[in-house]
Amino acid sequence: MTKEKIKDAIYTRRYIYNFHYHLIWVTKYRNQTFTTEVISNEMKAILQQVADDNDIVIEKMEVMPDHIHMLISFPPSKAPASAIKALKGRSAYIFLQNHPEIRCSQYW
């Protein structure tokens, strides 16, 4: 009896998985924060850095002026809530540290 591999599944020593989560989140008050290409690309780079640090694979990502779409995958040992917390919280912290003028102008 031979075991057939599951298409598009990720095989590790402990488990086989194929999780995909589609995340959409908006900026506070739905402000148009990511209006320029430079800021949009910087946010993409920050999100990729945070994902790499937390063992999250970003399959697709789009940064719109007032929201972000992501399709992510990560091992089942990580809870979905902790993956989302890492992406949203850490990326916002890094982005607003780099751009304090956005925090001052858009948020009271």
**Which two tokens mark 55?**
């063992």
**Which two tokens mark 17?**
């998985």
**pLDDT for 47-86, tens place per residue?**
999 999 999 999 999 999 999 999 999 999 999 999 999 9
Task: For domain 10-106, give the fold.
Answer: Alpha-Beta Plaits (3.30.70)
pLDDT at position 39 is: 96
> pLDDT band at residue 103, thresholds of 50, 70 and 90?
confident
DSSP result, 21-65:
EEEEEE-GGG-----SHHHHHHHHHHHHHHHHHTT-EEEEEEE-S
Gap between the Cα atoms of 100 and 80, Å rounded: 29
CA-to-CA separations, 85 to 7, 18, 23, 59, 90, in angstroms, rounded: 29, 21, 12, 18, 8
